[in-house]
A = this chain, B = another copy of it.
Amino acid sequence: MNKRMWQQPITKVAPDEVAVRGYRIEALMGQVPFAHVVYLVLKGELPTPSQGRMMDAILVSSVDHGATPPSALAARTVASGGAPLTTGVAAGIMTINRHHGGAIEGCMSLLRQAVARQQESGDSTAEVAQAVVAEARQERRRIPGFGHRIHAHDPRAARLFELARKEGVAGPYVEMAEAIQAALQDALGRPFPINVDGAMAAVLCELDFPTEIGNGLFAISRIVGLTAHVFDEITRQRPMRRISPTDHTYNGPEDREVPR
């Protein structure tokens, strides 16, 4: 092989053939759900059905969060200057970073350290969780993935853990996350529960995703909402308007039941 060639292990392209991680795309289509293909492309192997269903729930969990997050505001603002749809969406994606979505990676890193510490020390999960919380409080550090500026009890987090148990995917990371939640409540004297970022973090650790891909997974989920926001901005809003991050309201359908 030519020495000057560089290599990538993701997709093989040859005349009349496109295969990701060894699987021809036309064979995946109609056979393997998109969320499972996301797992395949990022991890290199197909998920088990349970892992695939967890991946699906993760991707659904962060699909949008209204017009409040900086990513939605940045995407709409760029679009409002006249940029094409994909440029606006891209601005939203690049807003996802340390402070926005970044709690996923922060919490993955924390959970990995805590579980390793538990395994090395032989201390109980609860003991390690209490130590982690105490240390953070002493150093006045926030524990990423816990608490939310809007939600007291993030329903997406609870649902993710419920599904993780049902699918048999919950293990030491989910256990540690819940122990930290309990330790936080003890320390603060009030609930300070895990949020969707923290729950995603725990499940992504269970699925053995690398920490550094946390923001990437969040982006794959959130691009859906960002696309809807930019499309709304381009087709329904006035160009060059001043987009208030607070003075807006939802005018879509009322609450309704998901049909079974």
Complex: how many Å from CA A225 to CA B35? 13
Residues from chain B with a CB closer than 8 A to the CB of A44 are: 252-253
A64/B247 in contact, CB under 8 A: no
Q: State whether the Cβ of A29 lies closer than 8 Å to any Cβ in chain B.
A: yes
Q: Which of A121-129, A179-187, A236-244 contacts B (4 or more CB under 8 A)?
A: A236-244
Q: Which 5 A-B pairs have the closest CB atoms?
A: A82-B98, A22-B253, A82-B97, A9-B252, A81-B100
Known: A34-B38, A42-B224, A84-B215. 12 other contacts (CB 8 A): A9-B253, A11-B250, A11-B252, A13-B65, A22-B252, A26-B158, A27-B258, A30-B57, A83-B84, A86-B216, A93-B93, A93-B223
Selected from B8, B31, B56, B91, the residue in CB contact (under 8 A) with A67 is B8
Interface string of A139-157 (1 = CB under 8 A from B): 0000000000011111110
Complex: how many Å from CA A150 to CA B16? 7
B33/A35 in contact, CB under 8 A: yes
Q: State whether the Cβ of A163 lies closer than 8 Å to any Cβ in chain B.
A: yes
State the Cβ distance, A244 to closest chain B Cβ, in Å: 6
10 interchain pairs, CB-CB under 8 A: A8-B66, A10-B64, A11-B65, A30-B163, A41-B227, A81-B101, A82-B97, A83-B87, A219-B227, A220-B223
Copies of this protein in the assembly total 4
Complex: how many Å from CA A240 to CA B2? 21
Question: Chain A contact residues: over half helix, strand or loop, or mixed?
Answer: mixed
Which positions in A face B, CB cutoff 8 Å? 1-2, 4-35, 37-38, 41-42, 44, 46, 53, 56-57, 59-61, 63-68, 70-71, 73-74, 77-78, 80-87, 89-91, 93-102, 150-156, 158-160, 163, 166, 210, 212-213, 215-217, 219-221, 223-225, 227-232, 234-235, 237, 239-260
